[in-house]
Amino acid sequence: MSLPINLDEILKGRLVEWERLEFKEGWNPEAVLHTVCAFANDFHNLGGGYILIGIAADQGRPALPPVGIDPNRLDAIQQELLNLGYHRIQPAYHPISAPYEIDERHILVIWCPGGQHRPYKAAESLAKDNRTYHYYIRKQSSTVRAKGEDERELMSLAARIPFDDRINQSASIKDLQASLIYAYLRDIKSRLADEATGMDFAQLCRQMNIVDGPAEFLFPRNVGLMFFNEHPERFFPYTQIDVVHFPEGPGASAFTEQSFRGPLNRMIEDALRHLRSTVIREHVVKHGDRAEADRFFNYPFAALEEALVNAVYHRSYEEREPIEVRILPDHITITSYPGADRSISLEDLAAGKVVSRRYRNRRIGDFLKELELTEGRGTGIPKIRRAMQSNGSPPAEFKTDDDRTFFTVVLLAHSEVKNQITPHVTPHVAPHVIRDLSEVEKALLEFCLTPQDRGSIQSHLRIKNAKHLRERYLKPLLSLGLLEMTDPEHPKAPTQKYRTTVLGRTALEE
C-alpha cells in the first residue's frame, strides 16, 4: 500500500514544513503516540503531519540512507499503531500508515491528518496502571504538552474543523471523479498512482483522506470536491477567477471579463496561462555606450503567480464571491474574500511581515504543495516582494480593511512601461454593453426586475459588506446603464431602490 504523497520530495523538505515532520530511528510506541496526538490536534491548522519510522534525525533533517526496520516487524507495528488509536487516544483516532523501501531499507510512513474531533488527548505513558491523559501539540519541530494558554486555545478549536476538511452531506462519493484523482497522483509522482486503477474506489478515496463516514454513508470532504470534480462551483458557488481587463482605465466604456472555473488546480493553471499570454511582456532597452541591454518585464510572472495562488489558497469558500483580477494600464489588483487573519496587524501587512498562526484551508494547502503550486510556509508575500524587486518594479502593496472583509494585492507596472500596457484581447460587444456579465451581476439584475432596496439586494446575494456591494456591483451597473435608481435626484434617500433598466433586461436576454 502507498500513500498519496511524493515521499522523495517530503524527504527533501520541499512539500511540508519541518514542523510537520518527525523522524524516528526505531519504533518507540509511546513517543509515536504523543506525536500522533499532536498532529491530530493540528494546533496551527497546517494539515497534520508525517512520522517516518526507520530514519534517524540529524539536526532535524533525515539521515540517509535510512537505518530501516526489520520487514518482518512491519505488520506487528501497524497492528500496535491501530490498537494505540483505539485504546490510548481519546477520542479514538487512526492515522494512515504505509511501508516504503528506500535504498533497499524498509521504513514506515505514518500520515496523521488533522482530526475531525479535536481536541485529542493521549496517555502519558503506556504502563498498565496509567490513568493520566494529556493534550499534545506541535511547537516548532517538537511534540509538547499543551499547557496554560495553549491548552485554552486548543479547547477553543473543539469542533472547529476548517471548511475545506469538512464532509459534504449534499454530495456523494459518485461526485468524485476517478480520472481526476489518477491524473493528480501521476502529476505528483506518487507511488500510489501505480496501484490506484486496481483499487476499490472507496478504498482509494479513504486512503487519500477525501471521504469520511461509514461504508453505507460515505460522504466526500469539501477538498475532494474542489479538486476532483469538474464543476466545484455546483457545491461552492462562485468558485472561480474573474479576470477583468480595463485597457483604457476603469472609467472608460470598454472592458472585458473572462471567468475561469473547474478543479482548483486547473482553474489556477488556466488563469495563469491566460495572464501570461495576454499581459506579461518582456522589454529590452539597448544602450549606446555598452553592449549589454537591460531586460525586464512589465510584471514579473513569479509575483503574479504567487499572488493568484495565495488568493485561491486563503480565500473563504463559504463566501459567494469570486477571486477578481483587475488589469489596468499601470497596475494589476488581485482581490479575494475575506481578508487576512486578525492575528496579522495592518502595520505588519503593509510592511510585508506576515506570520500567520493559523491557515484557513489546511487541506487545499496540502494539495497545492504536492502540485508545487505553493510552498505554504508563509513565504507568499516575501516571494512577491522579492520578485518585484528583482525585476526593478515598484514594491507590491497589500491591502485590507479593519473588518478584514477583503484582501488585495496591488502589483505596479515597471516604471519604464507604465501606460503602455494594452492586453491583447478583443472585447465582447453588445449594444451599449462592452462585456459579459458575471454570475453575481446577472443575479442582481434578475432580482431587480422588481425594484429592490440595497439591504434586500445585499441579503439576496449573500454579500456581507455593504461597501463591497456598492463599489463592486451597484456603481458599475449604474454607470453602464443596466441599473437605475428609483429616486436618482436623492441618491441617499431612505426609500431609495434599484431597478433593472430596459438595457439591463436586454443584456439579461442576450
CATH number (domain holding residue 52) = 3.30.950
Helix (H, G, I), strand (E, B) or coil at 256: strand
**Shared domain check, 113 and 1:** yes
pLDDT bracket for residue 424 (50, 70, 90) = very low
Distance between CA atoms of 170 and 221, rounded to whole angstroms? Answer: 11
* Helix, strand, coil % over all residues of the chain, rounded to 5: 35, 20, 45
Element of type H or E holding 7: helix 7-11
- Residues 56, 62: Cα–Cα separation, whole Å: 6
343 within some domain? yes
Rounded to an integer, the average pLDDT of 319-341 is 90
Please answer whether residues 35 and 22 qualify as being in contact, where contact means their C-beta atoms are separated by less than 8 angstroms: yes
Is 387 within 8 Å of 395 (Cβ atoms)? no
Q: How far is CA 248 from CA 21, 241, 409, 450, 503, in A?
A: 50, 22, 21, 34, 23
pLDDT at 432 over 60: no
Q: What is the pLDDT of residue 1?
A: 66
Whether residue 54 contacts residue 97, with contact meaning beta carbons closer than 8 Å, is answered with no
Q: What is the mean pLDDT of residues 185-212?
A: 92
Going by DSSP bridges, is the β-strand pair 241-245/256-260 parallel, antiparallel, or unpaired? antiparallel
Provide the pLDDT confidence category of residue 108 given band limits of 50, 70 and 90.
very high
| Together in a domain, 80 and 13 | yes
Would 125 be classed as within a structural domain? yes
pLDDT value, residue 343: 61
Residue 457, phi then psi, degrees to nearest 5: -65, -45
Determine, yes or no, domain membership for 215. Answer: no
Cell of 12: 527533501
What is the structure's pLDDT at 434? Answer: 47
Are 501 and 369 members of one domain? no
Per the model's pLDDT, the better-predicted residue between 342 and 248 turns out to be: 248
Residue 177 has pLDDT above 60, yes or no: yes
Residues 13 and 119 in one domain: yes
Q: Is 84 within 8 Å of 31 (Cβ atoms)?
A: no
Average pLDDT for 325-352: 80
CB within 8 Å of 290: residues ≥ 6 apart: none
User: What sign results for the dihedral spanned by CA atoms 26, 27, 33, 38?
Assistant: positive
User: What domain count does the chain have?
Assistant: 3
pLDDT at 508: 81
Sequence letter at residue 52:
L
Q: Please provide the DSSP assignment of 214-245 as one string.
A: -GGG-EEBHHHHHHSSS-GGGTSTT-SEEEEE
Q: Are residues 109 and 246 both part of a single domain?
A: no
Is residue 469 in some structural domain? yes
Question: Residue 197 pLDDT more than 60?
Answer: yes
Claim to verify: residue 25 and residue 76 sit in the same structural domain: yes
Check residue 13 and give its pLDDT. 66
Distance of CA 341 to the CA centre of its chain: 14
- Split at pLDDT 50, 70, 90, the class of 388 is very high
Q: Could you tell me the pLDDT band of residue 115, with boundaries at 50, 70 and 90?
A: confident
412, 430, 448: which is the final residue of a domain?
A: 412
Predicted pLDDT at 306: 94
For residue 201, being part of any structural domain is answered with: no
Same domain for 309 and 448, yes or no, is no
Count of Cβ atoms closer than 10 Å to residue 168 Cβ: 20
d(CA 130, CA 438) in angstroms, rounded, equals: 61
Percent of the chain at pLDDT > 90 equals 53
Q: Has residue 65 been placed in a domain?
A: yes
Cα 396 to chain centroid, rounded: 21
**Whether residue 401 sits in one domain with residue 253:** yes
124 forms bridges with which residues in the sheet? Answer: none
Residue 216 in domain: no
Asked whether residue 148 falls in the same domain as residue 10, the answer is: yes
- Domain shared by 31 and 151, yes or no: yes
> Which has the higher per-residue pLDDT, 213 or 108?
108
The mean pLDDT value of the chain amounts to 86
121: confidence class by pLDDT, cuts 50, 70, 90: very high
**pLDDT at 307 > cutoff 90:** yes
pLDDT band with cut points at 50, 70 and 90 for residue 291? low
Rounded CA-CA distance 145/143 in Å is 7
pLDDT for residue 122: 97
Task: Name the pLDDT band for 341 (thresholds 50, 70, 90).
Answer: low
Distance CA 220, CA 203 (A): 12
pLDDT given for residue 422 in this prediction:
46
Q: What pLDDT score was predicted for residue 378?
A: 60
Among 43, 45, 50, 48, residue whose Cα is nearest residue 146: 43
CB atoms near residue 141 (< 10 Å): 14
Confidence at 216, pLDDT banded by 50, 70, 90: confident
- How do residues 45-103 score in pLDDT, each as one tens digit? 888 889 999 999 887 788 889 999 999 999 999 999 999 999 999 999 999 999 999 99
Provide the CATH number for the domain around residue 363: 3.30.565.60
402 and 498 inside one domain: no
Last residue of a domain, one of 160, 192, 212: 160
Sequence-separated (6 or more) residues with CB below 8 Å from residue 244: 255, 256, 257, 324, 325, 326, 327, 435
Asked if residue 376 lies in contact with residue 17, where contact means CB atoms within 8 angstroms, the answer is yes
Question: What number is the average pLDDT over the span 440-469?
Answer: 91
pLDDT surpasses 80 at 340: no
Give the mean pLDDT of 242-270: 86
* Overall average pLDDT of the 185-203 stretch: 92
Burial 83-114 (b: 16+ CB within 10 A, else e): ebbeebbeeebebbbbbbebeebbbbbbbbbb
CA pair distance 83, 81, nearest whole angstrom: 5
Average pLDDT over residues 490-510: 82
**Long-range own/partner contacts, residues 288-296 (CB < 8 A, 24 or more apart):** 296/391, 296/392, 296/393, 296/414, 296/416
H, E, C per residue of 453-480: CHHHHHHHHCCCCHHHHHHHHHHHHHHC
Helices (H), 105-147: none
Q: Do 472 and 339 share a structural domain?
A: no
CATH number for the domain spanning 505: value is: 1.10.10.10
184 domain-assigned: no
Q: What is the pLDDT of residue 430?
A: 39
Domain that includes residue 490, residue range: 439-509
Last-in-domain residue among 128, 160, 192: 160
Residue with cell string 481578508: 339
Higher pLDDT, 244 or 379: 244
Q: How confident is the model at residue 9 (pLDDT cuts 50, 70, 90)?
A: confident
Does pLDDT of 421 surpass 80? no
